[in-house]
Amino acid sequence: MRDPVLAGILSLIVPGVGHLYNGQFLAGALWLMALVTIIPGFWIGTGGILGLLCHVIAGYTAYNYAKEHRVRV
């Protein structure tokens, strides 16, 4: 069983890790690449607003996927 709360928290802290926990390897890899390349610029360039938004979106999408797909295949 996937835990949606754990998936959401993992991706909220480090975008992509919750997706990897869910078995979404492509989405997790893309979020991790964005974490290294794009998101730091969002944190610096907008005073943290867009960086925080990216973390929240990653957490929400990981939570939502785990909630809809409870059983690992």
- Give residue-wise pLDDT tens across range 7-16: 999 999 999 9
CA angle 38/41/47 to nearest 5° reads 135
Interval 23-34 mean pLDDT: 95
- Tallying the residues shown for the chain, one arrives at 73
Cβ–Cβ under 8 Å, residues 11 and 62: yes
Which has more confidence, 25 or 73?
Answer: 25
Gap between the Cα atoms of 39 and 43, Å rounded: 6
Gap between the Cα atoms of 9 and 15, Å rounded: 9
Q: Tens digit of pLDDT for each residue in 34-62? A: 999 999 999 999 999 999 999 999 999 99
Residues 6+ apart with CB under 8 A from 36: none
